Chains A and B, each alone.
Chain A
Amino acid sequence: MDNQAANPANKHKKILVVEDEQYLRDLYVELLTEEGYTVDFAEDGQIGYQKILDNIYDLVLLDLIMPRMPGITLLKKLEEENYDQKQKQKIVVLTNLGQENVIAEAISMGVRGYIIKSDVTPDKILSEVKYYLDQP
């Protein structure tokens, strides 16, 4: 099957993947890089938190259940820091089914949306990413 050609315009889109599970992190980074995006990653919430504060991303894929700093804690800390509401809209939560209450909590804290990892195929993740990046 044909590898999708990388879109050169994607180069300007900066994406951060915050995911503690190495295999999934590697996969998302590889997929998004192949698509031509500029991709950064963090292995846990603590590192992710620092990177979110230090950089400006067009999209952040944030896992919820992570060691050191779970996604919800990260979002709470951003709230405490008075992090820009508009920037917070760039965060999309990565999660597994069965965490509806946590998802609801994340949404109430101003994140953009959520992707259920176990439900979607890699190309669905790409199309979701594209959807979120295309929305103003």
Chain B
Amino acid sequence: MPNTALGIFNKQHLEGQGLALDDELAKVNKEIYERNVELAIKNRTLQLIRQMYEIMNSTYDAEETARKLIATIVSELKLPKGYIILVDKKNNLIRFVSEFPAPAAGDEIFAIEDGKLIISLSESDNFCVEAILQNRRRMTNSLYDLFVPMLSEIRAANYQKKLGVETSIIYPLAFSSEVFGVMVLALDKHLGFLSSAEKDALKEITNVVAVAIERAQIYSDLQSANIRLEALDQLKDEFISIASHELRTPMTAIKSYVWMVLNRHADTLTPKTHEYLDRVYKSTERLINLVNEMLNVSRIESGRVMLKPAEFDLVELAQDIKREVQAKLVEKNQTLTVENTQPKIPVYADREKVQQVFENLVGNSIKYSPVDGRISIEMTIEKSMAKATVADNGKGISPEDMPKLFKKFSRLESSMAALPEGGTGLGLYISRQFVELSGGKIWAESELGQVTRFIFTLPLYQSLEAKAV
């Protein structure tokens, strides 16, 4: 007769069928009976494991998971006692995090709720420590071995007697070979009374406990890492915001005073000093742009760009841009034409952001096309989107450079050498983000040595209305 020391399986039910048959029949019957017992154990184990998975899915807190698991296991298997003990690596100790059932009022033993049951990992006489350090299952007939040196031998013995514990099995809880705790299951029988099916079942249960607790721990680690990262991200944002303000203040002063000299006191300058100061002015403008663009990038990347979309006329904006860059065009004797297939092209986007996109694209055209160059802005409606093309007859973009265009800080080799005033390498990256956030697309087309076209689309105001109907 197989022993079913645990309550895993209903012994009485099968014993009730006790049959007195002849030897051969008895032998067959015994086999069937044993198989039945085995199946019943497997069935119960599966049910218990399903309950454990439900617990696993109900909480992401490691200690709560441990508490619920040990309560379920101990009550389902009708054990006198169970513990889960976890390693606290930082403090080099182990901590009893859950037990079931809880000690009664008169028991002379630490209740786990007190948080007092901690044992140093260097306590080599302790069986839990041993199981953890050696990553192997341990067994003992004395509860005292679990509590060394926190509890006297007499108290441990009294408690064990009261609980009716015969043997305690200490299972290491491991995940990818790192042991992070142990589960203690105390039995009211000697281990020898357990069938191999029952031993397997316990092993299986231990594995599920390990996975459940490890998962909860990973989750809470991730969560705290996330919180830390969010705080860091905010700190970075604040830093950039403050730093950019602090940088811009003196740069604004430099820019303004140089402007005063160049525009209000130009008569005091020689052509040479005028040229030098002009370079100071342009460099300061570039610095201010750089700071602004870094701030933009930082916001885009932390998802803090706030778009305020509204209806506006793209054609009117393009004409504003033309007026704005007039002085720069004159400087290089370039022309900018604005053409549109419709008198008005109402779009739904954040006007300021679209203005930045235009300024960037037209600014690039001015920078990269030669003296006497021709630049154009063409606007049309295509596939119920507004489409704007900024084209110039500059030296074009090589096919190798094409994929780099919209990436951060990826100024093209050819453009670097050619331009004394340089750029930030952020303009097109920011433009792409703004256009895409607005629901449009941006791309470039170029024939090397002939023409460069930057094209972007934006949602039309009407199409939005039509969608709403």
Residues of A bordering B, CB below 8 Å: 1, 3, 21, 23-24, 27, 65, 96-101, 117-119, 121-123
Contact = CB atoms under 8 A, between A and B. Distances in A.
Interface string B230-270: 00000000000100110011111101110110011111000
B244 A23 contact: no
A70 to B, nearest CB: 12
Given A23-B253, A27-B253, A118-B252, A98 B260 contact: no
Contacts of B252: 24, 96, 117-118
Contact of B256 (A1, A65, A96, A121): A121
B306 A118 contact: no
Given A96-B248, A97-B295, A123 B263 contact: yes
B251 A118 contact: yes
B255 A118 contact: yes
Given A21-B253, A118-B292, A123-B263, 15 more contacts: A1-B264, A1-B266, A21-B249, A23-B253, A23-B257, A27-B256, A96-B249, A97-B295, A98-B245, A98-B292, A100-B306, A118-B251, A118-B288, A119-B288, A121-B263
Contact of A118 (B241, B248, B259, B266): B248
B323 to A, nearest CB: 13
8 contacts: A24-B252, A98-B245, A99-B245, A118-B248, A118-B255, A121-B256, A121-B263, A122-B260
Contacts of B295: 97-98
Nearest to B251: A118
Interface in B257-312: 257, 259-260, 263-267, 288, 292, 295, 306
Contacts of A23: 250, 253, 257
A65 B248 CA distance: 12
B267 A27 contact: no
A3 B264 contact: yes
A1 B251 contact: no
Most buried by A among B256, B266, B288, B292: B256
Contacts of A24: 249, 252-253, 256
Nearest to B306: A100
A89 B255 CA distance: 29
Nearest to B259: A121
Interface of B: 241, 244-245, 248-253, 255-257, 259-260, 263-267, 288, 292, 295, 306
A99 B248 CA distance: 12
B443 to A, nearest CB: 28
A83 B80 CA distance: 76
A7 to B, nearest CB: 17
A119 B359 CA distance: 13
Contacts of A97: 248, 292, 295
Contacts of A122: 256, 259-260, 263
A100 to B, nearest CB: 7
Contacts of B248: 96-97, 117-118
A16 B379 CA distance: 44
Contacts of A96: 244-245, 248-249, 252
Contacts of B251: 118
Contacts of B257: 23, 27
Nearest to A119: B288
Contact of B244 (A1, A27, A98): A98
Nearest to B266: A1
A98 B253 CA distance: 18
Contacts of A121: 255-256, 259, 263
Which 4 pairs across A and B sit closest by C-beta, in order of nearness? A23-B253, A118-B252, A98-B295, A1-B266
A27 B250 CA distance: 13
Nearest to B352: A100
B31 to A, nearest CB: 79
A3 to B, nearest CB: 6
A100 B350 CA distance: 13
B97 to A, nearest CB: 45
A63 to B, nearest CB: 10
Nearest to A3: B264
A117 B264 CA distance: 19
A135 B253 CA distance: 28
Contacts of B245: 65, 96, 98-99
Contacts of B250: 23
A50 B376 CA distance: 53
Contacts of B263: 1, 121-123
Contacts of A98: 241, 244-245, 292, 295
B217 to A, nearest CB: 39
Nearest to A95: B245
B112 to A, nearest CB: 49
B92 to A, nearest CB: 48
A96 to B, nearest CB: 5
Most buried by A among B249, B250, B260, B265: B249
A122 B253 CA distance: 10
A97 B299 CA distance: 13
A66 to B, nearest CB: 11
Contacts of B249: 21, 24, 96
A38 B267 CA distance: 27
A122 B262 CA distance: 11
A73 B92 CA distance: 51
B410 to A, nearest CB: 24
Contacts of A117: 248, 252
